[in-house]
Structure 1
Amino acid sequence: MSSTSTKLRRAWIYHPNLYFDTSIVFASSDRHKRVPSTETFIDTVNFILRMHSGLGVNKLAVIRPLRQPGKKDIDGWVSFAVTSKARVVILNFSPYHGSHDRRYNFPCHLFNGKSGSHLQVLQLDTITLGPSPPGFCGFANLTVLTLENVLVLGDLQLLLKCPALEWLTIRMCSQLHNLYAPEPLPRLAFLCVQDCAIDKIDVQAPNLTTFKYRGRFKVIIALRECLKLKTASIASPIEDNLYYIFTELPNGLPHVERLHVNVFVKTQIPGFTQAPHKFINLRHLTMRITYEIAKRFGRNAVLQLAYFLEAAPFLVDLHLDSLKRACITGFNGNGGQVALVKFILRNAVKLEEMVIDPKGRITNQMMGEHKGRRMIKEKLVPKDKNGLLVIL
């Protein structure tokens, strides 16, 4: 280990935060050299940990692409974290694009008995996490768990052995299909699930206050029992299914007061319908909507926002991000349409033009044209302070 200076060796003996990536292998004057090989990196980490006193360790972080052939060495690093009572463990072995069977398997068995009680933060990236081994007591004081690109084998029952968990983030775990906690997670306050092929999210978390989700809209979100859940963010920027937001979410997130939505819309719909469920507690709504570029789509896609006015009867604040032009055809002046136009005029800060066409094309729409024009004159024109309305 001649490349490691004497000064560096001494510095590591009592250092509380052990952070290993390719930059620490060489002294600062040598960083122009090529990235060290995996073998060199592993040898250096092993040497430093052997030299360390094992006292006062707060964090152990290893960030470099590694895989199963280095299991013995990595197990040794985790064992060091256990024996030194490290509070934070970060293993980030990304990027790795090989087969799952060559990924490193996280050794829960090393945290047996009381040895896992010191761990408070665990972050895993590009690792396999199997079912809890027999006799595993869990992480009694773990407050933050982050799983990114982790191959989860099973239904993540590890959560039931983390009674102090407050912050849970799961990203790009493609094999995790159900996030289910049949027993309460009493201290969980923040839950984030993004870019997973997940079918159902069903957890009992009496103190959950914030929920973030990004992914496909086929997921069943069952958080009705989370009475303190007041803020939620829902995003599916490539999937056309705004209908899911106002038909499924109110039932799964009935207590939310502040909702952020990011969706892609291309489907043109003919009119309005009664929302099957209500956001009875929703007060603040922020929407970022990306519309289909093709002209045959999206001409009246903004009408879908009217469903929100039906589904959120007590909404007091709506912010529409990036909406520059809106067009409503077949306007007949009903309450939902009038309310929608008012909301758009008041909240779409980038709006340049709002086109309203009350002309009907079928009999019942033609009968409503007179009422539509009257309602435009009485209810909408006085609200158009910036001259954005164009009436056809």
Structure 2
Amino acid sequence: MGVVLERGQLEGILSSCLNLNQLIIKYCKLPYKLCISGTVTSVLFVNCCELDEIDLQATKLRRFEGSFDDKVKFCFSSVPVLKHVNICLIGGAGMPYIFGEFARDLPAQVKSLIITAYSDQVANFPTETQIFRNLRKLALLLESTYDFDIVKVSPVLDACPLLQYLDLVQKSTITQKARRSGIRSLSPTCHTELKEVRFGGFLGIQEEIELVLYILKSAMVLKRMFLSQYLISPYYSVHYGFDTWKKRERERLSIEQKLHRQAISSNVVVIIQ
């Protein structure tokens, strides 16, 4: 934590730690390119500057997490057992890279992906994305959606043909209102694997309902949809002290009515909390 590493130093440490399981690097100044190798099974980077590229050659690596101040290029050279990736690239080029080159190069065995996007990135959410070939679980954590049309995340579902579990969590204000007029409903597509959707930070505004309807009408085997006013765990601490629906019970019933019998799946249960 908080150290300066010159080129080759981290590689030297890894080569001499023959039983290393976990590597955590926080607030460090790093060389432009790093190579992660050896026996390590879990790697976490937090706010490390200067770094441009990480070459992952750790054959036992199962989990990789990283939060970076700018775009970092990832080379998945040799990670045959990597299953879980948690990524946040704060710079403006982060989202196009994640949904473009990063998605294209992500190893097929990766089944779980968490993506965090901050306000400037959310506002420029990509309209096109590469295919995430074998992804089973996706979590999109949107740190600010004040000026963002949540419907714009719908193409991501089309880019994950084998997706089974979707967590969508947005941080927005209670006073947030629908921003579009004359909304045209999304045309349903066909999602044959999606089983469960959790939508955290759900306020019931028009764009959110449109996205929910799109999923209900598209997910053929959906079993459970959970719409929560709270920021759902395990991504955020859950606070149950303030219930926005207490004074909006009529509105909640209206939302339930709009969603009633809209699902293509006959087994789905929709919960609004």
Q: Counterpart in 2 of 1:306?
A: 154
Whether 1:190 and 2:42 are equivalent positions in the alignment is yes
Q: Partner amino acid for 2:155?
A: Y
Q: Counterpart in 1 of 2:169?
A: 321
Q: Which has the higher contact order (CA 8 A, sep 6+)?
A: 2
Task: Tell me: CA distance 1:247–1:327, structure 2 relative to 1, closer, same or farther (3 Å).
Answer: farther
Task: Tell me: CA distance 1:228–1:175, structure 2 relative to 1, closer, same or farther (3 Å).
Answer: closer
CA–CA separation in structure 2 for the residues paired with 1:153 and 1:323 = 38
CA–CA separation in structure 2 for the residues paired with 1:150 and 1:271 = 35
Secondary structure of the 2:104 match is: helix
* Larger Rg over CA atoms: 1
Cα deviation for residue 224 of structure 1 reads 5.0
Task: Tell me: CA distance 1:225–1:292, structure 2 relative to 1, closer, same or farther (3 Å).
Answer: same
Deviations 1:188-236 (A, max 9, x none): 2111122112111102111110101001341011125312111111124
Cα deviation for residue 238 of structure 1 reads 7.2
Whether 1:204 and 2:57 are equivalent positions in the alignment is yes
- CA contact under 8 A between 2:66 and 2:88: conserved in structure 1? yes
Whether 1:228 and 2:81 are equivalent positions in the alignment is yes
Identity %: 21
What TM-score does the superposition give when structure 2 sets the normalisation length? Answer: 0.62
Of 83, 91, 114, 1:260 maps to: 114
Cα deviation for residue 163 of structure 1 reads 3.3
May I ask how many residue pairs the two structures share in their alignment? 209
Secondary structure of the 1:314 match is: coil
Task: Tell me: CA distance 1:218–1:309, structure 2 relative to 1, closer, same or farther (3 Å).
Answer: same
Q: Counterpart in 2 of 1:161?
A: 16
Cα deviation for residue 152 of structure 1 reads 0.9
What TM-score does the superposition give when structure 1 sets the normalisation length? Answer: 0.45
- CA contact under 8 A between 2:82 and 2:110: conserved in structure 1? yes
Q: Which runs of 5+ in 2 are unaligned?
A: 219-224, 228-251, 260-273
Deviations 1:345-382 (A, max 9, x none): 9521441214159xxxxxxxxxxxxxx9xx98x949xx
Matches within 5 A, 1:55-94: none
CA–CA separation in structure 2 for the residues paired with 1:256 and 1:211 = 10
Q: Partner amino acid for 1:232?
A: V
Secondary structure of the 1:348 match is: strand
RMSD: 3.8
- CA contact under 8 A between 1:327 and 1:354: conserved in structure 2? no
- CA contact under 8 A between 1:285 and 1:317: conserved in structure 2? yes
Secondary structure of the 1:151 match is: coil
CA–CA separation in structure 2 for the residues paired with 1:219 and 1:225 = 18
Q: Which runs of 5+ in 1 are unaligned?
A: 1-147, 358-371
- CA contact under 8 A between 1:271 and 1:303: conserved in structure 2? no
Whether 1:352 and 2:203 are equivalent positions in the alignment is yes
- CA contact under 8 A between 2:96 and 2:126: conserved in structure 1? no
Q: Partner amino acid for 1:352?
A: L
Cα deviation for residue 180 of structure 1 reads 1.5
Cα deviation for residue 239 of structure 1 reads 5.5
Q: Counterpart in 2 of 1:279?
A: 132
Task: Tell me: CA distance 1:327–1:269, structure 2 relative to 1, closer, same or farther (3 Å).
Answer: farther
CA–CA separation in structure 2 for the residues paired with 1:249 and 1:386 = 42
Secondary structure of the 1:347 match is: strand
